[in-house]
Amino acid sequence: MSLNELENLVQGDGPGETSSRPIVVVIDDDPIIRASLEKVLKDKYEVRLCADGIEGTRVVDVNVSCVILDVRMPTHDGFWVCKHLRNRVPDVPIIFHSAYQDVKDPYEIINEFHPFGYVVKGDTLAMLLALVASAVKHSERLQETRRTVDRLRDARNRIRDVQEHLSKVSGSPRESERPKK
């Protein structure tokens, strides 16, 4: 592995990431909705389209910044998909996008599934786009926080290694190993 490949891997640009743009996954059984959302999102985001919940659960991974999820779909509804996505990628922001607001009480949905947002199909497109932008920013902050925590853990481990090395070289016990007075 070259130094550049190693740096890219550490910085999160490793294999599997094909785009520097945030990834938004649209899971909806309606081809017109999928095509419409792709058209309005593709200038800012890499858009991945899924026609059903099974495909959606396969496509969503840790690199996804936001999921727009239809509630009512054949075979597996959006709630089923949401549960499976939460098991695989717990922190991915999910926006429910549905024409059937009477399927479940919106407060029940929010309390049970903790979506990033809930947008009724037919509401203003601007509202959905603003919610997607907010979800992507949220996702980016989470990823940056994880990278920072990983760097801090790595630094802590390197400090411990240096302390152990110094205690072996000097022959004196580490501070934590010294008898207490």
125-150 pLDDT, tens digit each: 889 999 999 999 999 999 898 889 98
What is the C-alpha separation between 88 and 152, in angstroms, rounded?
25
Q: Judge if 81 and 117 occupy the same domain.
A: yes
Q: Judge if 93 and 148 occupy the same domain.
A: no
Q: Whole domain around residue 95: which residue ranges?
A: 18-138
Beta strands 117-120 and 64-70 are unpaired
Angle at 45 between CA 99 and CA 27, to 5 degrees: 35
Q: Tell me if 67 is assigned to some domain.
A: yes
Q: Judge if 99 and 168 occupy the same domain.
A: no
Q: Tell me if 24 is assigned to some domain.
A: yes
pLDDT > 90: what percent of the chain? 48
Q: Judge if 29 and 65 occupy the same domain.
A: yes
144-178 pLDDT, tens per residue? 988 899 899 988 998 998 888 888 888 765 555 65
Q: Tell me if 91 is assigned to some domain.
A: yes
26-69 pLDDT, tens per residue? 999 999 999 999 999 999 999 999 999 999 999 999 999 999 99
Q: Judge if 107 and 121 occupy the same domain.
A: yes
- Give helix 31-41 / helix 125-170 axis angle, nearest 10°: 70
Q: Judge if 87 and 37 occupy the same domain.
A: yes
Q: Tell me if 1 is assigned to some domain.
A: no
pTM of the model: 0.72
- Give helix 78-88 / helix 106-113 axis angle, nearest 10°: 20
Q: What is the mean pLDDT of residues 73-93?
A: 92
Q: What is the DSSP letter of 179?
A: P
Q: What is the DSSP letter of 75?
A: S
How high is the pLDDT of residue 15? 44
Number of domains in the chain: 2
Which CATH number characterizes residue 74's domain? 3.40.50.2300
